[in-house]
Structures are given as structure tokens and as C-alpha cells.
Amino acid sequence: MRSFPGGQDREPRLTVVGIPGNRRLALFQDAVRAAGLAPAREVGWLDVLRGRAGFGAGETVRLDSPGEDAEVDRLLRGTDDQTRVEGTGRWYERFTAAARDLGRAVTAAGAELLDDPDELAVLFDKRLTHGVLDTAGVRVPLSPTSGATAPAVSGWDDVRTLMAEAGLRRAFVKIAHGSSASGVLAVRTAGPGRVSAITSVELDGSGRLFNSLRVRRYTAEREVAAIIDTLAPDGLHIEQWVPKGTQEGRAADLRVVVVAGRATHAVVRTSASPMTNLHLGGARGDLDAVRSTIDAAGGSFSAVLTMCEAAAARFPATHCVGVDLLPAPNWRQYAVAEVNAFGDLLPGLTGLPEREAAGLDTYAAQLAALPRRADRTAARPRPCGGPA
């Protein structure tokens, strides 16, 4: 019989916190059934936020995304319009507070939590994540806003100044607590008044910002400034816009899923725009072709996976993360752009054939790795740089 967290040879009593009826929970429950386990008990984020969630001794509790629910989003962001970009600062404060309250409740009940709330607070702040990785020696893009002591960015004037001081003419300006490319601008500067930005943010006539499925280009500095000035109160992160490798003429990067310290899944994302997110016109690329390209460049795909594992190792109490890896045009150097707490939504993707998750989807891999988690977390160090 397998050994599971809790020190006993037993099957886990699984509980998942998420959005009931959401595709993420449906895929996880499919994996639970396929593993021959009893269905996971579902706890809604709405119940967590309203103080109605309870946990029992011996449960293994997994957290999933609180996204794609209008009422949850309203409670976290304070707006009824899910298409709006603004409000992520408020979302972060309320989400991390709720996660910490949940963590205390799980611990008090004698249950096991698979996602550490303090690590989530770092993972959901791009500035903190960048600083943690940089301090650990994981290569990341140059950033003037890295770490807990980075200067605050109050608007476009600060962005221009920080870019100039760092020698950056091209940079990604991101909301610190965003996801799915929401509020991301790929900014170019070329002297006074010569500015452009590529983004999915739609600026309406009243100055409000909306998420759009269409990537657009702004070439007037006043429009770029208006967007960034509006986003700044939520917190901004600036990082170098590094040239990326290509596949069939499209910019390419990698999303690598790391479960219990081991890279298990990888997908190539390609796009005609700087943002490779699949919902913004990105497409899955050819991983075998990437392997061949890396080999031809004198590199090693195994070393690529090791780099992603090194990034994930800074968050040892988070069972699963998705690492976004940027290949240089020569496919010999790499930088970690982000580490995502809920980066496992990759339907239909099976595990790397050379790894223990071969043939498993990302959710089945997380279940299979539960015995390994107990050994991994027994002597873990605390994550660096997170808020208390």
C-alpha cells in the first residue's frame, strides 16, 4: 500500500477548495476517480470567504483557483464586472487573508494542506516571486521592481524613469497580482514621445480598463500613460522584454508543470504577439521539435527541466506550480518569467515520457505524487521574502 501524508499507510481523504461546477474541479475529480479513490469533498471559495467552510481531521486539502465565479470575484475585487482589469490589489489582500484563515482552520482540524498560504502570498506577487528567484540564483529577466524592497511605481512617469535607469527600451509592465496576461503591456520606448505598447487591455472613452481577447497596439504616449496610471494603484512590476526563441516564425516559450519537486509536464506556447497565452491567440507548439532544437544548439532538455525544478524548489510547501520559461533565440539560455500557483490547467496534456508522470494528466500526476510530498516537506526551508 502507498504511504500518504499524515504518517499512515492509507488512502487520503481528499478535499478540494475551488469553484464547484468549474472545469478545474471536474478535471480533478475525473483524475480522482481514475485513480480508484473516493471522490474529493468539494468546498467552495464562496463558503470560505463567508466563513462557512469547515475541515476534518485526516483530510488532505488541495486549493484550486478562485477564478471564473462572479460572486467570488465580486467579494475579492469589489466589482460586479468581471471584465474589468482594475481591482487586483484588493483581490490580493482579500485572497491571501482568506487563504491564511483557511490554513489556520485546516491546521486546527488536524488536516493536511497542500498549498502553503505564505508561499501563495509570494506566488501571487510578481515582484516578490522575481526577488525570491533572483536571490536563489535562478536566472530571471532584469527588473527594477524585484523583491520586497523594490521602489513603488505610482504611474507612467515612474515606469519611464525606472526603465531608463535600468537601460531598458523594451519592458513588460505587469500588474503585480495579475494572471492570464491581464493588465500586461509590452512597452517600447525610443526617445521623448516615441512610445508604443502591445496589450490585451482595452481603454474605453471614460478611462476604464477592460480585458479583451484581442491583442492591440497603442502608439500614443498619452494612451499608454493613461492605462499605466490607472493600473498603478494595484501595484506594478517591470521586467526586461527579452528576445525569445521562435518556432515556425512565432515567438515561443514553455510552461513546465512541477509536482512535488519534479517537472512532469511541458507545453510549448507560440504566438504572433509578445503574449503567448492560449486564450489570446497563442497555440500549442511542437515539443518534440523543441527538444530537437535544443539538442542541435548543444543544450539539454533535461537541464531545462532542472532549471524549472530549481525555481519550484523555492516554494517547497506548494504541491504543484507552473513555471513559465523563456528561451533565448539561440535556445541555449533561459530565464524564468513567472511561477504560477494554479498553472496546471492544461487539458489533454499527458506527462513527459521520461518522467514518472508519463501518461498521466496534470491532476493525476498530483495525486500520484502525494507519497513523495511527505518526504519533500519533512525538512523544507521556509520560502524567502514572503509577507508574514
**How confident is the model over 129-140, as pLDDT tens digits?**
999 999 999 999
Band of pLDDT at residue 386, cut at 50, 70 and 90: very low
Predicted pLDDT of residue 191 = 75
pTM of the model as a whole: 0.93
Comparing 279 with 96, the larger pLDDT belongs to 96
Q: What digits encode the pLDDT tens for the residues 157-196? A: 999 999 999 999 999 999 999 998 899 999 999 877 799 9
Predicted pLDDT of residue 375 = 64
101 has pLDDT over 60: yes
Q: Which of 172, 118, 176, 171 is nearest to 151 (CA)?
A: 176
288 has pLDDT over 50: yes
CA distances from 357 to 275, 296, 347, 349, 351 (A): 28, 26, 15, 11, 5
Predicted pLDDT of residue 225 = 96
285 has pLDDT over 80: yes
Predicted pLDDT of residue 192 = 75
311 has pLDDT over 80: yes
Chain centre to alpha carbon of residue 117: 15
Q: What digits encode the pLDDT tens for the residues 112-162? A: 999 999 999 999 999 999 999 999 999 999 999 999 999 999 999 999 999
Domain boundaries, the chain: 13-114, 156-240, 243-357
Please provide the average confidence, as pLDDT, over all residues in the chain: 93
4 has pLDDT over 70: no
Predicted pLDDT of residue 1 = 30
Q: What digits encode the pLDDT tens for the residues 334-379? A: 999 999 999 999 999 999 999 999 999 999 999 999 998 766 555 4
Predicted pLDDT of residue 302 = 97
Q: Could you give the CA distance from residue 241 to residue 257 in angstroms, rounded to a whole number? A: 23
Q: Could you give the CA distance from residue 6 to residue 95 in angstroms, rounded to a whole number? A: 27
Q: What is the mean pLDDT of residues 242-263?
A: 97
Q: Could you give the CA distance from residue 217 to residue 197 in angstroms, rounded to a whole number? A: 6
Backbone angles phi, psi at 157, to 5 degrees: -60, -40
Q: What is the mean pLDDT of residues 68-80?
A: 93
385 has pLDDT over 70: no
**Cβ pair 343, 275 in contact under 8 A:** no
Domain 243-357 has CATH 1.10.10.10: no
